[in-house]
Structure 1
């Protein structure tokens, strides 16, 4: 393990991840004069999910004007809803502009982080064998970073080619192939039309039908849309879409009587695009509107009406060497299987062993579901602040607004730690953490996300792990000021031996 002196550079911060969360919090810290930053990234470049998800059609379903930092809005977007490559370029451009690239270590997969009580700091270890000692650790890995493959018997026996949508195999041509797609989540809605155009045949295995709303994209390069590049119009568009999504959040959490209105719009979209009554019945959701993530597409339904497509709603019994057998005993042969089965949203740190005070494991403390004060702070894990942590996602809206509500809070926390004596650390009080969690879960119990469907918001213990239960501005108001009285302050008693271990750079 490497161990180069770096303690003379002042407070040291390790950020894990270079997606929108990691880059954004790094910019805020740099602006506050925190220059001793190490940003660890498992991949070869910045971008997080926008680096990893290169499947055909990958794009954002939030307008570019809102899906961007308020401090770096960028008026040169080419489309109202930008694609994967453009978003990744945007993230990299921000990292370059604010001088973050020299702080980044790529191909550095973090496998563990341990708080050292004797020195009041963290030891962060990578898969490559490097140890970095830091005063503050900020995990910014996100909830959609680890692909989830279904536990279907025989999955590994398939003799054809297979992959998860977030690990797309661009070396395999789908021309003339018999392709199976398992899953109907947000990613599948985007890549299915492209697969349908290329494959000889495509079979979509659907466990449950999602509610889908129209998706109207346009290019800012078109003459009739060029004027929308004007900054004041983009600012107005940013505000109006945010405000509309705030209303949508109310539909999902507090205004159940309004849900039939948007449900009617979604089913109208289905009826307009799918004329065949038998297929339309298969594609009609049977759960309450909003219980699962509401999706956006104007190409998905038309793709499913094409003659080379079949939609199968029977459950999958087994994946065989040659294809897929459903519970009715029918086996279909395929050349390729593509999994659009989502991510491990309940286990965001499953690839890392995080140890806090008294050798407590974060995985043990979270055994019934992740929860943190304001989604950022966990008792017994001092000087650790999570970006895009538990209960900071939205059922309606842009996660960018939530991220930008967390950045100033974390900056203030780091500034507080910087002002304390060396070796001091802050840990959120257990009573504060517990009271906050009880309040949030109580409000979530009245939301649509607990109405009975299976979704990626609620775990097997009945806890809604991912979502915030109110309008996003209420989160921003609560996270506006870092309140020191919500935390315990302790100082490590550093021995001569512990002080002899320098911090790596």
Structure 2
């Protein structure tokens, strides 16, 4: 049912993680109810449903990594683990009547805009099709695991799996485990794997900067305090907002602050590895702090100091049936390989085929790197609004803060569409001018100083927002003048 005085608008949302959830909740708040969420899995949760590896947790404090309108006074930890975050998503979806709109087990393979009807046809894996006025892809940037193109990768005789597709049927007890990658996931699961394995070999291509993680368990007293005096949890949220936003300030505006963060990180890393001669030299980063994602951990580096853990920095040249061969010619035998190699973050919306006005292919439009107006709308793709699209990732804050701003934009967009009729297509010059500004600001950023998942194969930074989170929220406002109306 549409709000009084406007026509009904049907909306298709792809994905039911935090992005899809934010979109549906805001649309329902504005009175729109003709919404279908296509979720290929059997549960809500997105990355927090998929990533079940041991030690999986968020590196943004939970009072901030949550919806502002849905505080949770019963977070078990300051940096909550995956099960608690997934349960939070489930609870929020239930409270806001989102589940009624979700079609589980419905994988979207394509979406096509019809120039004649001005509607989107969504195509499912089983061949079913359905038409909608507005299409909202909310598939995220970190949903498709990346596997390195190493010769012989499929010849390994033992179990091998990506951390985002953890095989819980594989017993690691006493095994020789090879971990490839030292990113955010590996930093969390290596200490857990090491406790079970007979020997763990960590293959490091690039060392991450690591900062202390000031985690704590919230006691029953904390929970009662947060429930009886909600202002206390708001203070906790505001405090962490300021602290993590300080990272964005360092990367964007205050390089002397970045120098200080680097010093704190290196001191932390040295203190945690000095018991093993030469280890600090192996794990010391050789690039500008902030260029890659800075990680938070108090147990990863101590795990590397244990006698049953080895760190290999030589390049992997081949996978053999027995293990991994490195550039120095050594073969490192293993019983299990765990790929901690991240995600195909720059391949936005893949593998979904998206065809816009005039038969334009979205992936062809983005062949040199994805771009969108405030990460939301793309010229020649009318009535398509992205959640967590290009250049809306944060270098220091909480993505949920961005998602709330995007959901507000989406709802304003749909409200205007319902009043005017037709289709809304962002003006090409408006989007181009915006994108040129964003790329100009990014060209002088720390993210240009190394390769990372923030950048596409062409070198274009497609993931990150170049300013502070509040600046995105203030600027990303729906303005009808930015769009042309197609009748």
Structure 1 residue aligned with 2:418: 418
Unaligned runs of 5+ in 2: 1-6
Structure 2 residue aligned with 1:485: 481
**Alpha-carbon displacement from aligned partner over 1:147-178 (angstroms, at most 9, x marks no partner):** 00011111011110000000000001100111
Alignment of 1:278-427 (within 5 A): 278-421=278-421, 424-427=422-425
Match of 1:472 among 465, 469, 475: 469
SS in 1 for 2:117: coil
Structure-2 separation of matches of 1:85 and 1:483: 39
Structure-2 separation of matches of 1:282 and 1:395: 25
Kept after mapping to 1: 8 A contact 2:41/2:104: yes
Structure-1 separation of matches of 2:197 and 2:152: 24
SS in 1 for 2:278: helix
Structure-1 separation of matches of 2:224 and 2:27: 36
The worse-fitting range, judged by mean Cα deviation, of 51-60 and 257-266 is 257-266
- Give the CA deviation at 1:206: 0.1
Structure-2 separation of matches of 1:317 and 1:454: 20
Unaligned runs of 5+ in 1: 1-8, 492-505
SS in 2 for 1:277: coil
Alignment of 1:175-190 (within 5 A): 175-190=173-188
CA-based RMSD of the aligned residues comes to 1.3
Structure-2 separation of matches of 1:65 and 1:373: 29
- Give the CA deviation at 1:224: 7.7
Structure 2 residue aligned with 1:233: 232
Structure 2 residue aligned with 1:139: 137
Kept after mapping to 2: 8 A contact 1:429/1:487: yes
Alignment of 1:76-155 (within 5 A): 76-155=74-153
Structure-2 separation of matches of 1:247 and 1:89: 29
SS in 1 for 2:279: helix
Structure 2 residue aligned with 1:63: 61
1:262 equivalenced with 2:261 (yes/no):
yes
- Give the CA deviation at 1:71: 1.1
- Give the CA deviation at 1:470: 0.5
Structure-1 separation of matches of 2:46 and 2:147: 19
**Alpha-carbon displacement from aligned partner over 1:184-215 (angstroms, at most 9, x marks no partner):** 00000000000000000000000010000001
TM-score (norm 1): 0.93
Kept after mapping to 2: 8 A contact 1:253/1:446: no
Structure 2 residue aligned with 1:455: 452
SS in 2 for 1:302: helix
TM-score (norm 2): 0.96
Structure 2 residue aligned with 1:245: 244
SS in 2 for 1:112: strand
- Give the CA deviation at 1:319: 0.3
**Alignment coverage as a number of residue pairs:** 479
**Alpha-carbon displacement from aligned partner over 1:365-386 (angstroms, at most 9, x marks no partner):** 0000000001000001000000
The worse-fitting range, judged by mean Cα deviation, of 438-447 and 254-263 is 254-263
Match of 1:51 among 43, 49, 53: 49
SS in 2 for 1:281: helix
Which runs of at least 4 in structure 1 moved beyond 3 Å after TM superposition?
222-230
1:207 equivalenced with 2:205 (yes/no):
yes
Structure-2 separation of matches of 1:224 and 1:109: 41
